[in-house]
Amino acid sequence: MKLENKLIVVTGAGSGIGKELVLALLAKGAKVAAIDLREESLKTLKDSLGDKADRVTVHAADISDKARIEKLPAEITDQQGEIDGVINDAGIIQPFVKVNDLDYAAIDKVMNVNFYGTLYMTKSFLPGLLKRPEAYITNVSSMGGFLPVPGQSVYGASKAAVKLFTEGLYAELLDTNVHVSVVFPGATSTNITKNSGVEAPKIEGGKEYKTLPASEAARLIVSGMEKNQPQIFLGSDCKTMSFFYRLSPLYAIHLIAKQMKSLLPK
């Protein structure tokens, strides 16, 4: 898809990969409707754009609020014109605990934002996208959406739901003008932990895991959309674990369990 002069909706646009997606899309000549839960983050984003700010509208919204999301297509169209694409980037993680210690409030929140938020956005915008000459839906899953990560089991389940939902959508839309991509980020440098209200686990020995810069993640997503890639894998860790999981699922599960063991409460 050629992005120049296209209007792309981005959720989670106030920070992290979402913010970098806004910048990457603007660099390609696109217009952007930026959606985020935090109105102050959207204001900061808008103020930072300089002479490109007139190509961006901001919309504070909780993507897990179906009634609010159903109003967004008309709201955005009134301000910027017809919508050509949606990138569902917004998401949260769960507390770093095992399922037995995870309360239902946290479970509901993760599923509502990660899966139902993606579903509401897709259902609300797809009718309009089907009327465009060419359109795009990109849904961000996770490495945890195809590889089980202890301490993030419900988060992984929500992202696995996004994976299969998006791949099913891809199959359903094969004979239409709407392209579909699912994105699998590995460890990425964002503030998702803080935004999720979750405390990051302490890493033994003070060592740090290598993470992909959010700007590079956004560049790869935009590049994947330009090439109409159905699957977009971000980071060497994601690509490596995808290979291992397809080659030997049990080996990959034991490997990730060993890595996570020291990070979880006993």
- DSSP code at position 64: T
**Residue 137 three-state SS:** strand
Q: Are 43 and 58 in contact (CB under 8 A)?
A: yes
C-alpha to C-alpha distances, 104 to 108, 133, 152, 196, nearest whole angstrom: 6, 43, 14, 15
Residue whose token pair is 């900061």: 44
DSSP letter for 8, please. E
Predicted TM-score (pTM) of the model is 0.91
**Residue extents of the structural domains in the chain:** 7-261
Percent of the chain at pLDDT > 70 equals: 92
Q: Domain 7-261 classified CATH 3.30.590.10?
A: no
Among 155, 170, 209, 245, the active-site one is 155
Model confidence pLDDT, tens digit, residues 120-175: 999 999 999 999 999 999 999 999 999 999 999 999 999 999 999 999 999 999 99
Indicate if 155 belongs to the active site.
yes
Intra-chain end-to-end CA distance of the chain, in Å: 48
Residue 109 neighbours by CB distance under 10 Å: 18
Residue ranges with strand state E in the chain? 7-11, 31-36, 56-60, 85-88, 135-140, 178-185, 188-189, 212-213, 231-234
- What does DSSP assign to residue 29? T
Q: What is the pLDDT of residues 212-241, one digit of tens each?
A: 999 999 999 999 999 999 999 999 999 999
* Cα–Cα dist 221/225, whole Å: 6
Residue indicated by tokens 């609300």: 124
